Amino acid sequence: MSEYGTLESRVRRKSLLSKVMKAEDTIKFFSPGQDLMWSGFTPAGYPKAVPIALANHVEANNLQGKWKFNLFIGASVGAETEDRWATLDMIDRRWPYQTGSNIAKGINTGRIRMGDKHLGHFAQDISYGFYTGNGRYDIGIIEVSAITEDCGLALTTSCGIVAEAINLCDKIIIEVNTGQPSFEGMHDIHMQQKPPHRAPFLITAADTRIGTPYVPCDPDKIVAIVESKLRDKGRAFTEMDDTSEAIAGHIMEFFAHEIKMGRLPENLLPLQSGVGSIANAVIGGLAKGPFTNLSVYTEVLQDTMLDFFDGGNLTCASSCSLSLSETPGFPKFFDNWDKYFSKITLRPLSISNAPEPIRRLGCIAMNTPVEFDIYAHANSTLVGGTRMINGLGGSGDYLRNGYIKLMHSPSIRPSKTDPLGITCVVPKAPHIDHTEHDLDVLVTEQGLADLRGLCPRDRAKVIIDKCAHPDYKPILTDYFEMAKKETLAKGIGHEPQLFDRAFKMQLNLAQNGTMKIKNWDIKVDLCE
């Protein structure tokens, strides 16, 4: 008996109780090479008991590298599941976004074949049959709060791609989580048709509901019901520091100016914020800021969203995931359930990240890159242009379609040998996820660059002046002036670059542990 009810009380379609079994008893349904779909999104609402049981089985029977699966999940899930699978060499293919040091290592050493994709595209493309030979998947493992009499699934802390997966999987294993309150009623599920029969999403405000609280499921597909009491291992974030506080301050000033100029209403427009410590800090700044009656239309709700509600500035929030930290996030949410529950709407990824409502609502998109260059191309995924971190996520869905498209980053990061060794403002991004066409505003703790209406050469001057760290400002200025002089003289200077020198800072970092170079002469060794 759980304080949140029994399995029998949560499974209201009583015929399914005959399929109840322990997690380890589901091993019989699995075999190497299967295509698996999981619920879950950054890590919230993912299955735990069955993936852990599978990992235990592989480890106990020395099946590492012999039992490998293809994982298709809306975004990242908890480290105790997929990152452990990576350590046991259980993953062959993985789409489209992940977190964990071991899975990242597997990807970057070539052991795991990962494909990256805009999350909004991935959610719809799986239903188009793009990722497997026949467009089908062997098993879906779905975490739910409850199952209704007519086999409607009430999900838990995220929606992810469950609305699509339920129809694409040949077999379904349901984990009913009785170790936390039921989230029944928080979700807004809208089942889509394929083109040319897709209908508009009639979402006109962040709290508009267009569907039902349940994902319909064919009961004949369900082969097992497993009770779970395991909660999400949500990510923890660092507290606000001077850098993130300065970034938040610049953004607050920018919003105030846009209101004054008549380009934003006094309650702004629906806010989108990506994942990570800086994004969390920016929302914390908004929670303490002067703007009231705000709304959020995003893909992930993090801890400071609760502070946002507490301060009275935030009236409602729409998301794909309630991605709170294991502590203090979820305990705070559960202790104040009545305060938060009715203000939150969780939607399928294919709707939370769809261009149509993002453009209609005029979302203000705010996300963090690895780096950006002097012309406003941003890299969100590949360190040095080659090493995968997590994946693109949903940032591009919002940055291509928002009302104001903003990216925030520290101006510098430490290297192993130099506390100021890495500049996040570079001459040329070694990998580009977001082009200059997608971005309006760039922010570091140094300042804010408003790039709207500027040609590339004017953008470069503003970005260097407003965003670069003082140690790198003269180095970047020297490059820009040299590139501008050489390319304009040849009549090719719309966006000046010198490709024999554009990556010299990155080469110096690789060889000497810092991006501080003494000159741009290609005939002089990097160490000079």
User: What is the rounded radius of gyration, in angstroms, for the C-alpha atoms of the chain?
Assistant: 24
CA distance 395 to 463: 21
Structure tokens at 164: 């699509």
pLDDT tens column, 174-220? 999 999 999 999 999 999 889 999 999 999 999 999 999 999 999 99
- Letter for the amino acid at 421? G
Strands (E), 344-463: 344-346, 364-367, 371-373, 378-379, 382-383, 387-388, 404-408, 412-413, 422-423, 425-426, 441-444, 447-450
pLDDT at 338: 93
- Which CATH number describes the domain made up of 242-469? 3.40.1080.10
Res. 239: pLDDT tops 80:
no
User: If we measure between CA atoms, which residue out of 297, 310, 306, 146 comes closest to residue 234?
Assistant: 306
pLDDT at 524: 52
pLDDT at 238: 67
Rounded mean pLDDT of 451-470? 98
pLDDT tens column, 275-325? 777 787 788 888 887 899 999 999 999 888 998 999 899 999 999 999 999
DSSP assignments along 198-219, one per residue: -------STT---SBSSEE--G
Question: In terms of CATH architecture, what is 7-228?
Answer: 3-Layer(aba) Sandwich (3.40)
Maximum C-alpha span of the chain = 79
CA distance 77 to 46: 6
Structure tokens at 406: 């903003």
Residues 6+ positions from 113 with CB-CB distance below 8 Å? 92, 93, 94
CA distance 41 to 346: 11
Catalytic residues: 299
- Letter for the amino acid at 401? N
Q: Return the higher-pLDDT residue of 235 and 233.
A: 233
CA distance 95 to 474: 41
pLDDT tens column, 131-185? 999 999 999 999 999 999 999 999 999 999 999 999 999 999 999 999 999 999 9
pLDDT tens column, 323-349? 999 889 999 999 999 999 999 999 999
- Enumerate the β-bridge partners of residue 140: 37, 172
Residues 136-162: b if buried by 16+ CB within 10 A, e if exposed: ebbbbbbbbbbbbeebbbbbbbbbbbb
Three-state secondary-structure class, residue 117? coil
pLDDT at 276: 72
- DSSP letter for 501, please: T
1 confidence band (pLDDT: 50, 70, 90): very low
| Angle in degrees, 0-180, between the axes of helices 473-489 and 456-467, rounded to the nearest 10 | 170
| Angle in degrees, 0-180, between the axes of helices 277-287 and 303-310, rounded to the nearest 10 | 0
pLDDT tens column, 351-385? 999 999 999 999 999 999 999 999 999 999 999 99
pLDDT at 2: 57
User: If we measure between CA atoms, which residue out of 402, 406, 495, 499 comes closest to residue 455?
Assistant: 495
Q: Return the higher-pLDDT residue of 280 and 460.
A: 460
Residues 6+ positions from 299 with CB-CB distance below 8 Å? 41, 42, 119, 272, 274, 319, 320, 321, 349, 352, 353, 393, 394, 397, 398
Res. 497: pLDDT tops 60:
yes
pLDDT tens column, 79-126? 999 999 999 999 999 999 999 999 999 999 999 999 999 999 999 999
DSSP assignments along 231-257, one per residue: PP-PPP-PPP-HHHHHHHHHHHHHHHH
pLDDT at 525: 55
- Residue written as tokens 């012999």? 66
> What is the rounded average pLDDT for all residues in the chain?
94
- Domain edges within the chain: 7-228, 242-469
Rounded mean pLDDT of 463-483? 98
Give yes or no on whether 7-228 and 242-469 have one common fold: yes
Give Cα separations from 180 to 4, 5, 184 (angstroms).
Answer: 6, 9, 12
CA distance 456 to 434: 15
User: If we measure between CA atoms, which residue out of 225, 195, 190, 172 comes closest to residue 39?
Assistant: 172
Three-state secondary-structure class, residue 448? strand
